[in-house]
Amino acid sequence: MKLFSPDGKLYRAMVKLTDVVKINFMWFLFSLPVVTLGASTIAAFTVAMRFVEDEEGHVAHDFVKAFKANIKQGIPMSFINLLCIWVVYMDFQIMDIAENNSVVYLVIGVIAVYIFTFSLLYTYPLLARYENKLFRTIQNSFRISMRYFLRSVGLVLVVAFEIALFIWNTQTLVLGVFFGPIIVISTISWTANRIFEDVEKKNAE
């Protein structure tokens, strides 16, 4: 039957679903040492950005290749992510126990979340698509976020909704383990591709 042929919609849908689970599993596996979280995420974005554009490729091979190519930038990114989370966490912890100036710590925390979020929002897609120095890439991520502010805010809200949905209860959490990271990565990848293409077009003009 044509439905089950390699050109059939059902077959192609099953292949895509398998690829999604495969990317998600590889991201978890390669992130286990924690210090390789950054490299694993760059690799996942490399594959996902091609995946959302329906480009041909071999998921496992492309993931491993991208992981090896980005290990030097990925390890520092792991520590940068952890540092950002730690700074925000400690700020809100201090705010909880502070008898005075709790509002000051709240403002500092909100500003920190704002800066960290928009500085890192496009960092991984940029690292996956272009070759550049790490801190220059982080700067570019923040600049793109400000240039496409409304689109970036919308993206953050969508990603926040996806995360909240996956941690809603035990059942959704199970789904989140199998599909959560790659869905978030694919969401960011789709928006990043649109923005990068727009930037490239304007620069060419």
Backbone angles phi, psi at 136, to 5 degrees: -65, -40
> What is the token pair recorded at 199?
């930037």
Q: How many secondary structure helices (H) and strands (E) does the chain include?
A: 9, 0
The residue with greater pLDDT, 23 or 56, is: 23
Angle at 64 between CA 58 and CA 65, to 5 degrees: 85
Share of the chain above pLDDT 70, in %: 92
b (16+ CB within 10 A) / e for 138-172: bebbbebbeebeeebeebeeebeebeeebeeeeee
Q: Where are the domains of the chain?
A: 2-204
> What is the token pair recorded at 159?
């990603």
Query: How far, in Å, CA of 167 to CA of 182, rounded?
Result: 15
pLDDT the model gives residue 190: 93
Q: What is the mean pLDDT of the chain?
A: 87
Residue 9 pLDDT greater than 60, yes or no: yes
Query: How far, in Å, CA of 77 to CA of 191, rounded?
Result: 21
Q: pLDDT per residue over 71-128, tens digit each?
A: 999 999 999 999 999 999 998 888 888 767 778 888 899 999 999 999 999 999 999 9
Residue 170 pLDDT greater than 90, yes or no: no
pLDDT the model gives residue 95: 84
